[in-house]
Amino acid sequence: MAPYLFFFFATFTVLCAVGVIVNKNAVNAAFCLVLCLVGVAGLFVQLDAYFLAFILLLVYAGAVVALFLFIIMLLDVQGRQTAGFSGITTFSALMAFALLLTGLGTIAVKGHLDAPRLNRLAAEGAHLKPYAQQLFTTYLLPVQIIGFLLLIAMLGVIVLSRKHEAAEAAP
């Protein structure tokens, strides 16, 4: 079952990442980014890295993407046609494609990738209880201060955007 889950999450993550790149609508691209991060969190869970999966979903999918969506909706960004490729963009794309072909050729010739030799140790840090204990005892005040500052920043953006709308509607 584990290999099937890995292939499912890997395929899901790659397809959602392609959706981020291909979407012209910024809101849809941000939602594809959230789904991509959920797929990466699923891969972390497969690796018994529960804390990384939790933090990825909490910080990136929860806060960063919400901030992206808030700014996108605040600025009312519309998808527009882009100009053709510039020289540096074309060169970078060709180099990336050449590296991809080199990697695929290496796998085709050797038949496999050499895996690093690791001792199978119990996954440390897979349990959230010690982190939660420190977060809600030792670091409670700094976390609350940061949350309060983020709340003030969000309210400031709302106030600034409302004054901007009122100034545009006046003349």
Q: What is the pLDDT of residues 105-149, one digit of tens each?
A: 887 887 766 666 666 655 555 566 777 788 788 888 887 888 888
Q: Is residue 139 helix, strand or coil?
A: coil
pLDDT at 40 over 70: yes
- Mean pLDDT value of segment 48-72: 80
Evaluate whether 12 touches 35 at the Cβ level (below 8 Å): yes
Residues 6+ apart with CB under 8 A from 45: 53
Which of 38, 63, 78 is the C-terminal boundary of a domain? 78
Percent of the chain with pLDDT over 70: 74
Inside any domain, residue 100: no
Q: Of 78, 104, 137, which residue sits at a domain end? A: 78
Is residue 117 situated within a structural domain? no
Helix (H, G, I), strand (E, B) or coil at 120: coil
Same domain, 71 and 143: no
Tell me if 10 is assigned to some domain.
Answer: yes
Structural domain count of the chain: 2
Greater pLDDT, 13 or 165: 13
Whether residue 39 is predicted with pLDDT greater than 60 in this model: the reply is yes
Alpha-carbon span 29 to 72, nearest angstrom: 11
Residue 162 lies in a domain: yes
Amino acid 103 reads G
With respect to residue 103, please indicate whether it lies within any of the assigned structural domains.
Answer: no
Q: Is residue 45 domain-resident?
A: yes
What's residue 86's pLDDT? 75
Give yes or no: residues 72 and 6 share one domain.
yes
Domain that holds residue 159: 129-171
- Checking if the pLDDT of 14 tops 90, the result is yes
- Within a domain: 62: yes
Give the three-class secondary structure for 43.
helix
Mean pLDDT (the chain) is 78
Domain contains 47: yes
Assess contact for 57 and 128: CB atoms under 8 A.
no
pLDDT of residue 13: 93
